Amino acid sequence: MARVIAYIDGFNLYYGLRAKYRRRYLWLDLEHLIQRLRRNDEIVAIKYFTALVLDDDAAVLRQQNYLNALKAHSGEKIDIVLGRYQRSEVACPHCGHQRVKYEEKETDVNIAVSIVADTAAQASDIALIVSADSDLCPAIRMARSVGTRRGMIAVFPPARSSFEIRSLIRGAFTLPLEHIRNSLLPDEVTDQAAGRTFKRPANWC
């Protein structure tokens, strides 16, 4: 039995699911999903990297509701690591019209640092990376150089792929629909300690 730590690129997964299946599978049970991918292994931790959205109150509520549901369902098994969203104004080069642009910051750096640090600490036997972001390639190379005994598995979200990651991690594959479909949280998740219940958003069905 191998020890596995999963590193999940939250927005890469979210937008992949949205692109392929719309909102149907956003209420995803990450712990169950990773265990389905590695049925005979011990899941040491699931690290979920994301950032809180800006300027959309309804989206913020849905996101926080989901994060709370994940923590209530999986407890200490899941570690939610937050980056940040950055708001800036950009001008159209043709007409000069100003518009607001949003960029997610720090997520790829947070994933990279975590992969390398856990490899150096021998925190698990396998790093399972759920992302198709090629910006992670330097971290994969570095982890390989400091921890040659640690295995690497790359799982691409739906509608996402990376030639660069495939070149570094043989056998990289796309997350199967069967695993997604069978890894949804209950429609209502209760945090017994806090006495709160988190419900699947109505438009996530």
Give the tens place of pLDDT for each residue, 133-182: 999 999 999 999 886 788 999 999 999 999 999 999 999 999 999 999 99
Domain that holds residue 136: 9-157+174-187
What are φ and ψ of residue 201, in 5° steps? -55, 145
> 156 Cβ partners below 8 Å, 6+ apart?
16, 130, 131, 132, 162, 165, 172, 173, 174, 175
Distances (CA, A) of 171 to 36, 153, 163, 167, 168: 17, 8, 12, 9, 10
Q: Is residue 4 part of a domain?
A: no
Q: Is residue 179 part of a domain?
A: yes
pTM above 0.85, yes or no: yes
Q: How much is the CA Rg of the chain, to the nearest whole Å?
A: 18
Question: Quick one: average pLDDT of 7-28?
Answer: 97
pLDDT of 29-75, one tens digit each? 999 999 999 999 999 999 999 998 877 889 889 999 999 999 999 99
Is the pLDDT confidence value at 188 over 90? yes
Q: Is residue 1 part of a domain?
A: no
Residue type, 86: Q
Q: Supply the mean pLDDT for the chain.
A: 91
Rounded Cα distance, 162 and 155, in Å = 10
Question: What pLDDT does 186 receive?
Answer: 97
Domain with residue 182: its CATH number is 3.40.50.1010
Is the pLDDT confidence value at 76 over 80? yes
Question: Quick one: average pLDDT of 96-107?
Answer: 67
Please give the tally of structural domains in the chain. Answer: 1
Q: Is residue 195 part of a domain?
A: no
What are φ and ψ of residue 59, in 5° steps? -65, -40
